[in-house]
Amino acid sequence: APPPRSRRRLAPLPVLPQLALPLALALLRPECVGAAAGQQFALTIPRVTTDELERNLTLRSGLHAYVLTDHVGGSWKAMTWTLDYIKKKIPFEWVDYYPTNMDNVGSKPYLFKLEDAMPRFLQKSEKPKYMQMRIGFRGWSRLKKDFVPKPLPDVFWDDDEWISSCMKRPDGKSDKPAIDNFFVTQQWKFLLIGEKGTSMFFHKDGTAASSWQAQLLGKKKWTLCPNTETPLLDVNIDTFKPESYNRFPNFARALCGQVTVEPGEMLYYPAYWWHHTLQFETPSVAYTGALVGVEADRHDLGADPKPHLRFYNDLMDKCAKCWEKGNPTRKCEDISEKWPGAAPPMLRVVCETYLPDCYRLWDEHAQSLHGVGAKIEL
């Protein structure tokens, strides 16, 4: 068992030796490039093709953000999606519906099924609307064929490759309710639909999974900052409004970057990276998937240098709030009983039986990608 685009094209990062990466990033810091009194967004978010990614050891480490420019638009049926198609395919999925944007941490959603949320979204209104959906097992079963083939399967090694092997019943069949519970409680698969001007507030995710997001309709601008910059950042910063920076003087010292993602492109960013988005067009549709077991070791995770081990421990912390060995009673509230559509607690069988088996698969894959004890520090 395991231990408890801006529109100008940006050149790809060179293939750097492992020990050169921390220095290369450090030299980009605002204090090293003579930044004025304001955020300079000095961190390059490279734009690469699949062939360039395959040859770039720095990016294949999983420790830097990049935009993959050539795969989604030329390969995926999802690029033909319309809002009507989405509603017909997954009318039953629950939507966090924000009628007046999601641009600050205090924004609260209404919960609707998609068949009820979509007509509201299509109505004209003074303020732009935003929807996000946690896609469950049933919904993903209906959508997944529109997201094949995956680019570089060893790099974009997602749950389709491991979850049925570690979440299975004693008879050997996949435990579909458990997989659904994992998807929904971890916000593992997200469909995001917004109008021009909508924005999800600046934040980093609560678990150490890396993410990729495919832009299907509309353009979206991103701000991205490594986890190392956390002491300089705040969820209340609006990174798209420079006039607001004076309230957060430390932000000028943070190493961050900005990039605009076009339809048919995919953005990748590592675990715990801060991110902020702004939709440029109506509608904007994007799909986000999470990854674990694909990053090399890193120095910014404290006692858990392996991101997949940190992710496992993040989940164990969640489990401990609900389940205690020897105690058959759940300790946490199930808010989905009071608010249908809200995320339920993690299932006991996921916490105690399946996650340890999943961890072993994550660890094996990370070692196959980066070697036993391979380490690249940001």
pLDDT of residue 177: 98
d(CA 340, CA 335): 8
Give CA–CA dist 82/242, Å, rounded: 34
Are the CB atoms for 146 and 78 separated by under 8 Å?
Answer: yes
pLDDT at 216: 98
pLDDT value, residue 28 = 58
pLDDT the model gives residue 32: 54
Q: How far apart are CA 301 and CA 227, in angstroms?
A: 9
Amino acid 115: pLDDT: 98
First-to-last C-alpha distance (Å) of the chain:
29
C-beta neighbour count of 157 within 10 angstroms: 21
pLDDT at 21: 47
What pLDDT is stored for residue 304 in this prediction? 82
Euclidean distance between CA atoms 295 and 61, whole angstroms: 6
Extract the residue ranges of the chain whose pLDDT is less than 70: 1-37, 372-378
Element (H, E) at 214: strand 210-217
Whether residue 274 contacts residue 225, with contact meaning beta carbons closer than 8 Å, is answered with: yes
In DSSP notation, 94-144 reads: EEEEETT-B-STT--PEEEEHHHHHHHHHS--SS--EEEEE--HHHHHHHG
Taking a C-beta distance cutoff of 8 angstroms, is the pair 210, 295 a contact?
yes
Residue 137 in tokens? 């097992």
> Which DSSP helix (H) or strand (E) runs through 189?
strand 189-194
Angle, CA of 41, 44 and 46, to the nearest 5°: 145
Give the C-alpha separation, 248 to 235, whole Å: 11
Bridge partners, 268 (sequence order): 66, 212
144 closest CA partner among 113, 111, 188? 188
Q: Give the pLDDT score at 331.
A: 96
Q: Which two tokens stand for residue 92?
A: 């039953």
258: enclosing H helix or E strand: strand 257-261
Asked whether 198 and 272 are in contact (CB, 8 A), the reply is: no
What's the confidence (pLDDT) of residue 59? 96
In terms of DSSP bridges, do strands 66-68 and 47-48 run parallel, antiparallel, or are they unpaired?
parallel
Q: Counting Cβ atoms within 10 Å, is residue 54 exposed (0-12), middle (13-18) or buried (19+)? A: middle
Q: Which residue type does 73 have?
A: G
Per DSSP, the residues of 60-88 read: HTT-S-EEE-SSHHHH-GGGG--HHHHHH
